[in-house]
Amino acid sequence: MLPRDIWTSQFLEWHGSAKTLLDHHSTGITAIYSDISDAFARTLVVDNLYTGQNAVGNISPIVGVEHSYRNTITRLCMDGLSGSMTMKESTDTYEMRMISVCARRRFASLKRGIWA
């Protein structure tokens, strides 16, 4: 297995666990965030969507963060890391950002609904 394939399988395993916990604990509660799925998708990229002051000239901004998140997870499940460095689409940028943020890191949701 290539290192990136190992990372993909480890990430998808963590993602599945995190998503299951998120879905379980967010059911029937009032959360700080009006849209828990959007908050989770933004957390995975530390809310840096390459817009405003974070915009970079030759990198596509992440427009539709949940859509880019879903496309990235689907692509990882089907094909693994794309390795695309063109960043011409939101999903490419989301994947690149998620990899740089999530590699060797963990996130937690606290009982009060605050992301840490």
| pLDDT 10s digits, 44-96 | 998 889 998 888 888 889 989 999 999 999 988 887 766 655 667 888 889 88
Q: Which long-range contacts (CB under 8 A, 24 or more apart) does 63-68 make?
A: 63/90, 64/90, 65/38, 65/41, 65/94, 66/37, 66/38, 66/41, 68/41, 68/93, 68/94
Residue 64 Rama label (left phi>0; alpha psi -120 to 50; beta): left
Task: Round the average pLDDT of the chain to a whole number and report it.
Answer: 79
Pull the structure tokens for residue 37.
């799925």
Q: Are 96 and 70 in contact (CB under 8 A)?
A: no
- Which pLDDT score, from 0 to 100, does residue 65 have? 94
Question: Which pLDDT tens digit goes with each residue over 7-57?
Answer: 788 888 888 888 888 888 777 766 677 788 898 899 899 888 999 888 888
**What values do phi and psi take at 109, rounded to 5?**
-110, 135
pTM, entire model: 0.78
d(CA 109, CA 87): 30
